[in-house]
Amino acid sequence: MLRETGDAVELWDRDARADHHRKQLSRFENAGGGLLFGHLDMADGSEWFIGRMGLFDPESRDPLLVDWRAPLSRSFYTATPLHPDGVDVRSTVGTRGWRVSSVVPEELSLTASRDAAPMGPSALMAAVSQHRTDRMTDIVATIQGEQDRIIRAELRGALVVQGGPGTGKTAVALHRAAYVLYEHRDRLSREGVLIVGPNPDFLRYISEVLPSLGEDSVVLTSLHTLLPGVVAHREDERDVAEVKGRLDLAKVVENAVRRREIPVRAPYVITLESDQTVRIDGRDLAALRTRMRRTRKSHNESRPTFERVFRELVARQLLSTAGRSVEVDVDPEDIADFADELALDDRLAAAIDELWPIVSPEDLVDELLRDPKLLAACAPMLDDADRALLVRTSEEGWSVSDIPLLDEAAALLGEDPRPAMRARARERAERERELEYAQGVLDLYTDTTTDDDGSEDTGVSAEQLAARQRFDDRSTVAERAESESGWTYGHVIVDEAQELTPLALRALVRRCPSRSFTLVGDINQSSAAHGSDWDTLLRPQLRSYRREDLTVNYRTPSEVMDLAARVLAHIDPRQSAPTSIRSAGEEPEIRRVGYDAMGEEIRVRADRFLEGSEGTFAVIADAELLPRLRSAIDGMGESDRKRLWFGSPRDAKGLEFDEVVLVEPGWRSERGVAESRELYVALTRATQRLAILHSTPLPTELTSGA
């Protein structure tokens, strides 16, 4: 029976509850058994269990587990013996799978029970000393005070987090994403959060952190894949990347787009399939171009309007001069009817394609960078040397520096509207068929259930019946954001933000018009000329921002950091290195090795590491040397190779490894601030042991002050 009852509502409710429980189960599985990690005994006699997510008793609704982001949990991270914040005893709970393996209490108040055991090994020290894997883990159980302050900072505006190596910038960024989604769920659950990392390796490294915290409203990307449908597979040389990253290039792309809008010289003559000839003078073309630009639509999105207006222009001219020696006024309805007929004329369609073509971002930028004359016309603000750097002469595909150029072009061009128009037409036709079918069902039902008095009441319309059969989209906000072009986010978090070019920052601002940003990085690790200080990079587009500093190094042993501090002094004598909280008990090894023996030395060290450790081993070297060094591990099993990493200093940004071998740091003879910054990055990736192998002279940064 098809009456309006509670059946349909109950069915929808059942599906919604099933979807909710599936998501909850996924959150539990992603937590990996580590739901519980803390306990608070409060001075008022209450006690609270702290975990990765909140859980409630299904009957009483009393909290069983307090979400780490809730205000009540903050004392777990900020309470100290001097400022206990109402906490008597704070306990760190260790788990293995779904079983509690340890409870380490810490007395914070003089009134705490004397039965509390003395504090054992610090949970923080245990966490920072453990072996690294190829995936980052969350730090939710060991967040420190200065980190907690940044994680919970207000959402509005732009926040810059400056932190040296090992200060937990990435961890803070990811936990801030989870926190703002919790604190501002009503807004951000609809808009989502975008996290931008420096490269695809980094995204793989952090990919499990947010799922372990129960969040699925985050999109992870890097500049390599920022623009849907385009992937950058290479890096430009530093001087080329610097020019491509300037804000001036936005105007260059705009000029290239404008040159595609009625690019012909007047008068413009068209011979239609009817052999009628139309001559359009320069004033009409100029007026048409001005009219189209005043619509404020993007180039491609203006195409349907241009087609209509141009056909009407041609129709008016043909009708006003047909059989007459002078032009006369013509009925607008006649013009519109004739313009519709002209839509079938292939020669007129070809003219429209020439005057206002549909252009892809890839075609526009490729033509711009391959044609020196076109580039000179579009970029008069650049000098000859800069324009020469921009010219593409190979088929190597897109670089990371090209992505902001393509994004600028995509914003100005817009999408080809024709596929969407066809899709809407198909959708309308499908809905009409659904309504027709639903009405048929209702008519059949009416014929068989009419009351004796001739009345009937289904309580449901054909539209309502058809709507119930349509697909109920339960995709996450992250899935929708990745599938819809032009999506804007509620908040954007950028790791290694010092690597952003001004044009790349412009692309990110386009994705977050509210300018709600968290930008984390270390300006001393910047590899670009524009990254000399945060003001130079940010002020032109983010007029105001707040700054927080991370000062404690949790990753890098003090012995390694002492060596890196010499390099930092070369970069900026005013800067102080972050303070390391632990020692590895072993000084960095610096050893001269013959160039021909370098591969064998790498193999011996890798074998020794794999036999004695469960962590990760990295070889960092100039990109030119990497293929030869990688060949040293040919023949190793797949399981062993997964724990070995090879890359350049630029590739290593944001990553960390138990043991690092830095090869030939003086390979390139030219030395500047950029090279010193890359050396600083390479030196500070190790969490346990660092070795420097060289056959060429060491950079002066490593020898001075020794």
User: Is 38 known as a binding-site position?
Assistant: no
User: Is 373 known as a binding-site position?
Assistant: no
- Average pLDDT value for residue range 625-630: 94
Residue 87 reports pLDDT greater than 70: yes
Name the residue with higher pLDDT: 63 or 97: 63
Give the pLDDT band (50/70/90) at residue 464.
Answer: low
User: In degrees, to the nearest 5, what angle opens at C-alpha 234 toward C-alphas 228 and 238?
Assistant: 115
> Which among 308, 307, 423, 289 has a CA at the least distance from the CA of 358?
307
Please, are residues 183 and 69 in contact by the beta-carbon 8 Å criterion? yes
User: Is 486 known as a binding-site position?
Assistant: no
Going by the DSSP 8-state scheme, the letter that residue 492 receives in this structure is E
Rg (CA), the chain: 32
Provide the token pair at 507.
């692309």
Give the pLDDT band (50/70/90) at residue 110.
Answer: low
The secondary structure of 345-356 as a DSSP string is: -HHHHHHHHHHS
Please, are residues 208 and 171 in contact by the beta-carbon 8 Å criterion? no
Which residues is 278 bridged to in the sheet?
270
Q: What is the number of other CB atoms lying within 10 angstroms of the CB of residue 87?
A: 22
Cis omega before residue 267 (within 30°)?
yes
User: Is 32 known as a binding-site position?
Assistant: no
Provide the token pair at 72.
């009540």
- Average pLDDT value for residue range 130-159: 84
Residue 298 reports pLDDT greater than 60: yes
- Average pLDDT value for residue range 248-262: 96
Q: Which residues contact 421 (CB under 8 A, 6 or more apart)?
A: 304
Report CA dihedral (653, 658, 664, 666) to the nearest 10 degrees: 50
Please, are residues 187 and 485 in contact by the beta-carbon 8 Å criterion? no
Please, are residues 351 and 340 in contact by the beta-carbon 8 Å criterion? no
Task: Give 3-state DSSP helix, strand, coil % of the chain, rounded to 5.
Answer: 45, 15, 40
Q: What stretches of 529-656 adopt beta strand conformation (E)?
A: 546-550, 552-553, 579-580, 589-592, 617-620, 644-647
- Average pLDDT value for residue range 329-337: 79
User: What proportion of the chain, given as a percentage, has pLDDT over 70?
Assistant: 83
Provide the token pair at 300.
């491609």
Q: Which residues contact 701 (CB under 8 A, 6 or more apart)?
A: 566, 567, 570, 676, 679
The packing angle between helices 346-355 and 303-321, to 10°, is 130
User: In degrees, to the nearest 5, what angle opens at C-alpha 53 toward C-alphas 50 and 58?
Assistant: 95
**Average pLDDT score, the chain:** 85
Please, are residues 191 and 477 in contact by the beta-carbon 8 Å criterion? yes
Residue 473 reports pLDDT greater than 60: no
Query: What are the CA-CA distances from residue 661 to residues 253, 367, 577, 688 (Å)?
Result: 43, 43, 22, 12
Residue 219 reports pLDDT greater than 60: yes
> Which pLDDT does position 5 carry in this prediction?
40
> Which pLDDT does position 531 carry in this prediction?
58
Residue 117 reports pLDDT greater than 60: no
User: Is 164 known as a binding-site position?
Assistant: yes
User: Is 163 known as a binding-site position?
Assistant: yes
Q: What stretches of 46-192 adopt beta strand conformation (E)?
A: 47-51, 55-56, 63-67, 87-96, 99-107, 158-163
494: three-class secondary structure by DSSP: strand
Residue 465 reports pLDDT greater than 70: no
Question: Which pairing describes strands 546-550 and 158-163: parallel, antiparallel, or unpaired?
Answer: parallel
> Which pLDDT does position 74 carry in this prediction?
92
> Which pLDDT does position 113 carry in this prediction?
44
Give the residue ranges of DSSP H helices in 219-299. Answer: 238-244, 248-258, 282-293
Give the pLDDT band (50/70/90) at residue 479.
Answer: confident
The secondary structure of 441-491 as a DSSP string is: HHHHHHHHH--TTS----S--HHHHHHHTS------HHHHHHHSTT---SE
> Which pLDDT does position 108 carry in this prediction?
84
516: three-class secondary structure by DSSP: coil
Cα(280)–Cα(269) distance, rounded to whole angstroms? 6
> Which among 149, 229, 216 has a CA at the least distance from the CA of 188?
216
Domain boundaries, the chain: 33-132, 145-223+492-549, 238-257+360-413, 262-298+300-356, 558-702
Please, are residues 558 and 166 in contact by the beta-carbon 8 Å criterion? no
Residue 6 reports pLDDT greater than 50: no
Residue 436 reports pLDDT greater than 90: no
Question: Comparing 14-23, 31-40, 119-128, 664-673, which segment has the lowest mean pLDDT?
Answer: 119-128
Question: Which pairing describes strands 617-620 and 55-56: parallel, antiparallel, or unpaired?
Answer: unpaired
237: three-class secondary structure by DSSP: coil
Does 558-702 match 145-223+492-549 at the fold level? yes
Name the residue with higher pLDDT: 342 or 706: 342
- Average pLDDT value for residue range 8-26: 61
User: Is 637 known as a binding-site position?
Assistant: no
Residue 330 reports pLDDT greater than 80: no
Name the residue with higher pLDDT: 89 or 189: 89
CATH superfamily of 145-223+492-549: P-loop containing nucleotide triphosphate hydrolases (3.40.50.300)
Which residues is 117 bridged to in the sheet?
none
pLDDT digits (tens, 9 = 90+) for 309-327: 999 999 988 888 754 544 5
Question: CATH class for domain 558-702?
Answer: alpha beta
Task: Name residue 156's amino acid.
Answer: R
User: Is 165 known as a binding-site position?
Assistant: yes
Give the pLDDT band (50/70/90) at residue 426.
Answer: confident
Please, are residues 301 and 377 in contact by the beta-carbon 8 Å criterion? no
Question: Comparing 46-50, 60-64, 298-302, 346-350, which segment has the lowest mean pLDDT?
Answer: 60-64
pLDDT digits (tens, 9 = 90+) for 488-499: 999 999 999 999
Query: What are the CA-CA distances from residue 613 to residues 127, 249, 342 (Å)?
Result: 16, 49, 76
